[in-house]
Amino acid sequence: MRKHHHIDAEAAALRETFEIDRRDFLKLAGGGIVLFFTIGELPAIAQQRQARALPTDFNAFLRITENGRIACYVGKIEMGQGIVTSLAQMLADELDTALESIDMVMGDTDLCPWDRGTFGSLSTRSFSPALRAAGAEARLVLLELASEHLSVPAANLAVENGIVFEKDHPQHRVSYGELAHGRSIERHATGKAVVKKFSEFRIMNTSHLRRDGREKVTGKTVYAADMRLPGMLYAKILRPPSHASKLVDVDIAEAKLVKDVVIIHEGTLVAALHRLPDMAEYALSKIKARYETPPTAFDDNTVFDHLLKAAAGGKIVAQQGDINKGKAESAAIVTSTFLDGYKAHAAMEPHAALAVIENGKATVWASTQNPFTCKEEIAHELGFSSENVRVITPYVGGGFGGKTRNLQAAEAARLAQLSGKPVQVAYTRKEEFFFDAFRPAAVVTITSGIDALGKMSAWEYNVYFAGDRGAAHFYTIPNAVTTAFDASVNGAEGPHPFATGAWRAPGNNTNTFARESQIDIMASKAGVDPIEFRLQNMTDKKMRDVLTLAAEKFGWVAAKAPSKRGIGVACGIDAGTPVAAIAEVEVDASTGTVRVKRVVCVQDMGLVVNPEGATIQMEGCITMGLGYALSEHVRFKGGEIMEENFDTYDIPRFSWLPTIETAFVTDNEAPPQGGGEPAIILMGAVIANAVYDAVGARVFQLPITPARVKEALEKNVK
Amino acid sequence: MDETVQFTLNGKAVSLHVDNDRMLLWVLRTDLELTGTKYGCGEGLCGSCTVLIDGEAVRSCQTPMKSVGGKHVTTIEGLAKGEVLHPVQQAFMAHDALQCGYCTPGMIMTAAGFLSHHPHPSRGEITMGMENNLCRCGAHKRIIEAVATAAKEMEGGF
Ligand code: FES
Ligand code: FES
């Protein structure tokens, strides 16, 4: 109740201060020609708290300044996915200016309009149409101004490289910078400008190297842990042994003796602060604490039973025909259960934040994928109103969905408040594992049938805890039902002993592993080559095209599995992008070790804005995906996390690298779709299927560890 | 124990009064404000903190200050010659051998150390030379290509 009250009061305050905010905001943005536009959703009332310092009738804007530079302000962040390049490419092309003249200003909650967060391959997908329209519109405004300035009708003008000139007298010209000189013009996108046709592209759909490359190879790029302020202290915080532990007592006497240390002890928050981070760590090691930890309920081996028991009512995600009829009419039926353990995000950059509080306003530099949510969390922690909190997001060293809970930022802010000094909190690798919101463990059960002709006839799919992304199949199965149990993958509450959350293509990795393994099982039942079987049971043109092209690039020769060649296939769809992969593996039957030798992957993501960037994302997905497929899973006992560092949590290394070949089915008139995640969803399935093809034994649980391969081989012998 | 440690850092003489049990990583990042060298694991498991000491790639999170005295330390900030990038840096850019860039300084320093011993590396040797550096974004393919290109470029040395 109180919470709602609070929101209503804030909404009223927001309306009252709206005009003032707007002026402040324009002052912050500076002069020049400013074009406001809307991308995707605007903040709803509940979210206006997060956006209250800003006007709410747009959520992105461009500013053209008198030095001819064009700044684009968006609340997104750059974490390696390359939008600092691809978004700028779109603008430069629509504006007929050089890529170099575009500045992306991102993830600063005082400068940038509200944004929900950067995840889910959505940046390019949801931004592209509006961003391009804004660029086109800005170009029209500039043309109008140039027409006045040059006294030439706009129709007789052309633009190149940010210079507007008369077509018949190219020397009669004016630059964007000159047009912006001494002006303060505010426009709102009307949506009337026409974006460029594919044939007119100069910068989009051409490959560009990363714009942040030079600063990244010279060590100049600043991440949150690299921020420095005069007088700042580094904080190391006392952590419990388990998420279920309660602090009983704590002794800070010895830690207090460390030279120059500041010890904060406020309720359960106990921290050592020092001007040197390693000395803070040393002081923390001198704090003695006693915890009470309830007995362990279950661990990573017994979690699946626990999950099945905890599963709440299912939600039907997709349905065709009548599943009971389908089962009755099937000539052969197979039921399988697929398991997947918890996975860590394990970005190379651990969470970090630096907070300073001055004159009642907190400024926090944080590694976050959702700066506006982060701002709200900090305001709550400090008891500040949200306009008194500013979050600035420097470059983020990898996110993958893991930088959306901003505990470290709230902790830094709170410690800055308590100590009166700027405070940095930078997680150790152990803290990073401990506080990670893991990709949830999940169970999928599938009962499927083929008819007498070997065509798919029934499909009953139940997914527990992976969520419904990628759960629905895309085959032509007359009688099918897909049900998701507890489709929510977010939140610390629920059956998991720790927080779980989105992990690069959330849920879809698990769902695709289960579905594509089962499809392979049915292909074997039917005695048909796995690609042939998929094509026989699929009408979706885009999916057929990516699969066919992948087979062609690979040099696929049809054979039913197991063919002993170690070749597997999988397809899937994520973020609007159909994707297919074929992998070749080598299995050492004596040790159970799997080595992936070659992966060919094809996707159709509509218009590819930066082919180089999109290729890199696919390569990254394939390489990262080897980890969840072959080695990664989080071991735990109740709320105690056994993974503390990379000695036990094994992520892909150079020696694992297969030959990777990627290609696109190009559809240049279609809007761009997500490209940062689709390929990763296939890696579990394509390797499981290739292992089956190699040795005739199937692994039903990710990761496909040597022990599980050997176990599957032994079962086969029996 | 507090001690005055003198060494050469990126070509310049440095003299620091520090606790000589402290690790070079934290002295670089905090006392010297050279933040290009990254923390990734703190236990010698990821390579993010790699620097060159007398030309050898070394993990600064495992290097106490007492072992640094009299040595030549090069960090990512000191690898280029002024505006002229080191061939490994150049090749990382040309191949787009990075995404988030967090592992990149460590990768580049490891590669620079490796190439000084292996001027004509095979692909397999590059793989083994880089094996203990971790990258979560999956830039491995391009990193190997970049190191191979840098090896060719460096025929004449740098
Ligand atoms: S931080 Fe030194 S090896 Fe990981
Ligand atoms: S580029 Fe992100 S960790 Fe390597």
Residues A516 and A641 reside in one and the same domain:
yes
Which atom belonging to ligand 2 lies closest to the Cα atom of A398? Answer: 2
Distance CA A74, CA A38 (A): 10
Per-residue pLDDT tens for A404-443?
Answer: 999 999 999 999 999 999 999 999 999 999 999 999 999 9
pLDDT at A16 over 80: no
Residues A365 and A315 reside in one and the same domain:
no
Task: Answer yes or no: is the ipTM higher than 0.95.
Answer: yes
Any atom of ligand 2 within 6 Å of the Cβ of B96: no
Residue B39 and residue A395: Cβ atoms within 8 Å? no
Residue B77 and residue A400: Cβ atoms within 8 Å? no
Which atom belonging to ligand 2 lies closest to the Cα atom of B101? Answer: 1
Domain hosting A74: range is 11-217
Q: How confident is the model at residue A119 (pLDDT cuts 50, 70, 90)?
A: confident
Any atom of ligand 2 within 6 Å of the Cβ of B93: no
Helix axes B104-117, B123-130, angle to 10 degrees: 130
Residue A6 falls within a domain, yes or no? no
pLDDT at A133 over 60: yes
CA-nearest residue of chain B to A216?
B101
pLDDT at B75 over 50: yes
Look up residue B66 and give its two tokens: 């007492």
Strands A184-188 and A233-237: unpaired
Q: Which of A426, A461, A491 is the C-terminal boundary of a domain?
A: A426
Residue A95 falls within a domain, yes or no? yes
Residue A225 and residue B94: Cβ atoms within 8 Å? no
Q: Which of A166, A193, A217 is the C-terminal boundary of a domain?
A: A217
Look up residue A557 and give its two tokens: 């020769």
B127 and B143 in contact (C-beta within 8 Å)? no
Provide the β-strand partners of residue A334: A448
Q: Which of A179, A196, A217 is the C-terminal boundary of a domain?
A: A217
Q: How far is A654 from chain B (nearest CA, A)?
A: 5
Tell me how long chain B is.
158
Residues A260 and A111 reside in one and the same domain:
no
Pick from B93, B102, B107 the residue to mutate for testing the A interface (most A CBs within 10 Å).
B102
Distance CA A282, CA A256 (A): 11
Residue A5 falls within a domain, yes or no? no
Say whether residue A646 is in contact with chain B using an 8 A CB cutoff.
Answer: yes
pLDDT at A8 over 50: no
Position B137, amino acid:
C
Q: How confident is the model at residue A54 (pLDDT cuts 50, 70, 90)?
A: very low
Q: What is the pLDDT, as a whole number, of residue A671?
A: 76
Distance CA A33, CA A164 (A): 16
* Rounded (5°) CA angle A663-A665-A667: 140
In A278-317, the residues whose Cβ lies within 8 Å of chain B are 278-279
The whole model's pTM is what? 0.93
More confident residue, A188 or A656: A656
Residue A68 falls within a domain, yes or no? yes
Which atom belonging to ligand 2 lies closest to the Cα atom of A397? Answer: 2
In A202-221, the residues whose Cβ lies within 8 Å of chain B are 209-210, 212-214, 216-221
Alpha carbon nearest to ligand 1 atom 3, residue: B44
Beta carbon pairs, A and B, within 8 Å: 173
Residue A264 falls within a domain, yes or no? yes
Provide the β-strand partners of residue A361: A358
pLDDT at A120 over 70: no
Q: How far is B111 from chain A (nearest CA, A)?
A: 12
Say whether residue A198 is in contact with chain B using an 8 A CB cutoff.
Answer: no
List, edge to edge, every strand of the sheet that includes A332-340.
A314-320, A479-485, A456-464, A442-450, A332-340, A701-702
Pick from A217, A284, A648, A656 the residue to mutate for testing the B interface (most B CBs within 10 Å).
A217
Residues A111 and A208 reside in one and the same domain:
yes
Residues A355 and A488 reside in one and the same domain:
no
Ligand lying nearest the CA atom of residue A645: 1
Residue A596 falls within a domain, yes or no? yes
Q: Give the mean pLDDT of A537-561.
A: 97
Q: Give the mean pLDDT of A243-248.
A: 95
Q: How far is B34 from chain A (nearest CA, A)?
A: 9
Which atom belonging to ligand 2 lies closest to the Cα atom of B98? Answer: 1
The structure tokens 């905010």 sit at A21
Residues A271 and A310 reside in one and the same domain:
no
Per-residue pLDDT tens for A193-231?
Answer: 888 988 899 998 888 888 899 999 999 999 999 999 999
Q: What is the pLDDT, as a whole number, of residue A24?
A: 52
Residues A101 and A210 reside in one and the same domain:
yes
CA-nearest residue of chain A to B43?
A645
Any atom of ligand 1 within 6 Å of the Cβ of B40: yes
Distance CA B17, CA A469 (A): 56
% of chain A exceeding 70 in pLDDT = 90
Position A705, amino acid:
T
Strands A567-574 and A577-588: antiparallel
Residue A2 falls within a domain, yes or no? no
* Rounded (5°) CA angle A235-A238-A239: 125
Position A326, amino acid:
G
3-class SS of residue A436: coil
* Rounded (5°) CA angle A674-A580-A123: 5
User: Residue A654 C-alpha to ligand 1 middle, in angstroms?
Assistant: 17
CA distances for A15 relative to A20, A273, A372, angstroms: 10, 41, 19
Chain B residues with CB inside 8 Å of A210's CB? Answer: 93, 96, 98
Look up residue A56 and give its two tokens: 């709410």
Residue of B38, B45, B110 to mutate, ligand 1, most atoms within 8 A of C-beta: B45
Distance CA A44, CA A377 (A): 18
The mean pLDDT of chain A is: 89
Say whether residue A429 is in contact with chain B using an 8 A CB cutoff.
Answer: yes
Q: How far is A350 from chain B (nearest CA, A)?
A: 7
Residues A229 and A206 reside in one and the same domain:
no
Residues A452 and A368 reside in one and the same domain:
no
Residues A317 and A364 reside in one and the same domain:
no
User: How remote is the C-alpha of A242 from its chain's centroid?
Assistant: 27
Residue B100 and residue A217: Cβ atoms within 8 Å? no
Q: Give the mean pLDDT of A377-392.
A: 96
Ligand lying nearest the CA atom of residue B43: 1
Ligand lying nearest the CA atom of residue B48: 1
Residue A210 and residue B139: Cβ atoms within 8 Å? no
List of residues 6+ apart from A700 with CB closer than 8 A: A336, A337, A338, A339, A517
Closest to B23 (Cβ–Cβ): which among A278, A395, A657? A278
Residues A135 and A181 reside in one and the same domain:
yes
> Which CATH number covers residue A383?
3.30.365.10
Per-residue pLDDT tens for B11-60?
Answer: 999 999 999 999 999 999 999 999 999 999 999 999 999 999 999 999 99
Q: Give the mean pLDDT of A667-672.
A: 77
Residue A298 falls within a domain, yes or no? no
Residues A40 and A25 reside in one and the same domain:
yes
Per-residue pLDDT tens for A485-526?
Answer: 975 544 435 688 898 888 888 889 999 999 999 999 999 999
Residue A79 and residue B37: Cβ atoms within 8 Å? no
pLDDT at A52 over 80: no
Distance CA A349, CA A611 (A): 26
User: Residue B79 C-alpha to ligand 1 middle, in angstroms?
Assistant: 19
Q: How far is A344 from chain B (nearest CA, A)?
A: 11
User: Residue A382 C-alpha to ligand 1 middle, in angstroms?
Assistant: 34
Q: What is the pLDDT, as a whole number, of residue A495?
A: 84
Per-residue pLDDT tens for A64-104?
Answer: 888 889 999 888 889 988 888 888 998 999 999 999 999 99
DSSP A35-89: EEE--SPPPPHHHHHHHTTS-SS-SEEEEE-TTS-EEEEES---SSS-HHHHHHH
pLDDT at A265 over 50: yes
Strands A352-358 and A361-366: antiparallel
Per-residue pLDDT tens for A588-644?
Answer: 999 999 999 999 999 998 888 888 888 999 999 999 999 999 999 999 999 999 999
Chain A residues with CB inside 8 Å of B135's CB? Answer: 348
Q: How confident is the model at residue A647 (pLDDT cuts 50, 70, 90)?
A: very high
Any atom of ligand 1 within 6 Å of the Cβ of B46: yes
List of residues 6+ apart from A379 with CB closer than 8 A: A362, A385, A386, A388, A389
Give the number of domains in chain A: 3
Closest to A619 (Cβ–Cβ): which among B45, B104, B141? B141
- Walk me through the domains of chain B, giving residue ranges and CATH numbers: 2-76 (3.10.20.30), 87-156 (1.10.150.120)
